[in-house]
Amino acid sequence: MNAVPQQGADATPGTRLASLRQWVDEVAALTRPDRVVWCDGSDAEAAALQEAMMADGTLLPLNQDTHPGCVLHRSSPDDVARVEHLTFVCPSNREDAGPNNHWMAPADAHAKIDALFDGCMQGRTMYVVPYCMGPIDSPLARCGVEITDSAYVVANMRLMTRMGVTALARIEREGTFVRGLHSTGELDPERRFIMHFPEELTIKSYGSGYGGNALLGKKCHALRIASYQARQEGWLAEHMLIVGIENPQGEVHYVAAAFPSACGKTNLAMLIPPESYREKGWKVWTVGDDICWMHPGEDGRLWAINPEAGFFGVAPGTSGKSNPNALACIQENTIFTNVAVTDDGQPWWEGLDKRVPAEDWQGRPYDAANGPAAHPNSRFTVSARQCPTFSPHAEDPQGVPISAIVFGGRRSTLVPLVFEARDWAHGVLVGAAMASETTAAATGAVGVMRRDPMAMKPFCGYSFADYFAHWLSFDRPGAKLPKIFHVNWFRKDADGRFMWPGFGDNLRVLEWIIGRVDGRAAADALPIGHVPSAGALDVDGAEVAPEAMAELLSVDAEGWAAEADVVEAYLHGLGVPADSPLRRSLEPLRA
């Protein structure tokens, strides 16, 4: 049957774009929903959706006196993180997917997942969600349409994208869009796939309601599909925050920084300067906390937009100490997922404060024997506009100019607090060789060291060898490329304690980075790159002993020579040729 298109309760707008209308009809014929709703993104629509989800238990009310407009969602205990082993990238040619992706032939992938979609929306509503990734009037933005049977997904997409009639109008003008089809299915881990068809600009996701698997505008579109688009069109789609650093002279430098999930991107994007820096006039401006699209501008610089409109942040560890801005951001109009609840109905998670929750993330009476009260990957979804440090330039259609690119993994040993790459090719190597200890953002063991190039291991929509070559291609005559740096906030001493205080004190490192961009900050040239000279980092007032500071900036030549061998083998395994500038950039480490 062809379900009747509806908007809200009874209108029938559909779309003027024949290709979109035909696709929606085909999906309705396959999935057989009871009705089809075209989402308009209005406040009235959002209120009606929330009321319906409260009625059926999809959302639970939180304390409206302390957290007005906030709600809680509890997902299936088997559906709490990205499922990288069930995520496929399906170009026609297997080599195009590369060894960094799971591949399936497109025809086989469509057949496998379409069999799951067959009739899956019977008894359900099918929502058609037009959305724009990026400022609605930006030439750098790209649009998509997600079809889903999850009202929870619709509510999240409304916060995370520019969703509704304005996005639909742009799609109708341009005639092109990324197609995303999603169903929660039975939430059965054995019947769960996330398929990407980059050549078709298509995503199909079945069997999960978790953010990264179900909010198709996020990792699926904005990284896996967009990275493929970016290579075709000459730009970069990256797993990076964008933050503006304003010095006492009123000059703002924008920094793009890549960290694996749950390694501090949101904290850095919303950083609050140490008191001594605030007194001098330093300010921090938040543009984005997770994804960055960078395009070469006419002036030769890279200009960046945040394609997202909200934050899908990790709750545990977020506190008045670690990230006061994030905490302020989520006091109202926020969707919490898999957090615990206090006896008076307030959201709670480990690291927030010393209270003891009443219920854990599964709704059980809290018992420490059951593990953490909040799931380690519990989340909050909130509009970026609620951030106290939201940049006045975050919605600029042309984006913001990037002065520096920073890579950073979670390394307890070897890697110093900060160093600068020798040149662009070496910087690409620094990003390609990045390694980090795993966190709870993905299924699998936590604390295992793995290579995560540019923090894109789970998200690159094509072969890493081609991806690195694409990065290298930006170094061309007339380019005014950002300097590239690597940071490591997580180095530990012999007793297993973090040596660097982190949080607001990370601005001290960013100050040195900006000083390097301006040609002012002192550095020592070493085989791994440029490391701050003694005294070049302002640590006045920071809780770090001189001997710890010396250790944080020390370089173990023997350890780095061994690292070079490991990286060489890793790049070889990814298909990076021996004569690549990346592998040539390893030579100084061996020397």
Q: Which of 120, 132, 220, 263 is catalytic?
A: 263
Query: Which of 288, 508, 481 lies closest to 403 in space, CA to CA?
Result: 481
- What gap in Å lies between CA 166 and CA 476, rounded to an integer? 37
Is 208 annotated as belonging to a binding site?
no
- What gap in Å lies between CA 473 and CA 567, rounded to an integer? 21
CA gyration radius, the chain: 24
**Phi, psi at residue 398, to the nearest 5°?**
-85, -5
Contact (Cβ atoms closer than 8 angstroms) between residue 246 and residue 277: no
Is 82 annotated as belonging to a binding site?
yes
Is 21 annotated as belonging to a binding site?
no
Query: What are 131's strand-pairing partners?
Result: 144, 163
Contact (Cβ atoms closer than 8 angstroms) between residue 121 and residue 157: no
Is 63 annotated as belonging to a binding site?
no
List the structure tokens of 118. 């067959």
Is 264 annotated as belonging to a binding site?
yes
> Tokens 């709670």 — which residue?
348
CA distances from 199 to 203, 228, 377 (A): 11, 8, 32
Contact (Cβ atoms closer than 8 angstroms) between residue 273 and residue 283: yes
Longest dimension (CA), the chain: 73
Is 297 annotated as belonging to a binding site?
no
List the structure tokens of 371. 């593990």
Is 170 annotated as belonging to a binding site?
no
263 in catalytic set: yes
What is the secondary structure of 394-442 as a DSSP string?
TT-TT-EEEEEEEEE---SSSS-SEEE-SSHHHHHHHHHT-EEE--TTB
Query: Which of 227, 306, 300, 271 lies closest to 487 in space, CA to CA?
Result: 271
- What gap in Å lies between CA 250 and CA 245, rounded to an integer? 9
Beta strands in 8-97 (DSSP E): 35-38, 60-61, 71-73, 87-89
Residue 340 has, within 13 A of its CA and on its CB side, a CA count of: 27
Is 266 annotated as belonging to a binding site?
yes
Is 211 annotated as belonging to a binding site?
yes
- What gap in Å lies between CA 433 and CA 482, rounded to an integer? 19
Is 378 annotated as belonging to a binding site?
yes
List the structure tokens of 349. 């998670």
List the structure tokens of 298. 């006419």
- What gap in Å lies between CA 227 and CA 10, rounded to an integer? 38
Is 210 annotated as belonging to a binding site?
yes
Is 290 annotated as belonging to a binding site?
yes
Is 377 annotated as belonging to a binding site?
yes
List the structure tokens of 106. 């497109």
- What gap in Å lies between CA 210 and CA 152, rounded to an integer? 10
Is 204 annotated as belonging to a binding site?
no
Is 259 annotated as belonging to a binding site?
no
What is the secondary structure of 42-62 as a DSSP string?
-HHHHHHHHHHHHHHTSSEE-
Is 212 annotated as belonging to a binding site?
yes
- What gap in Å lies between CA 76 and CA 337, rounded to an integer? 11
- What gap in Å lies between CA 103 and CA 106, rounded to an integer? 9
User: What residues form the annotated binding site?
Assistant: 82, 210-212, 219, 239, 261-267, 290, 377-379, 410, 503-506
Instruction: Give the residue numbers annotated as catalytic, written as ranges.
Output: 263
User: What residues form the annotated binding site for substrate?
Assistant: 82, 210-212, 261, 377-379
User: What residues form the annotated binding site for Mn(2+)?
Assistant: 219, 239, 290
User: What residues form the annotated binding site for GTP?
Assistant: 262-267, 379, 410, 503-506
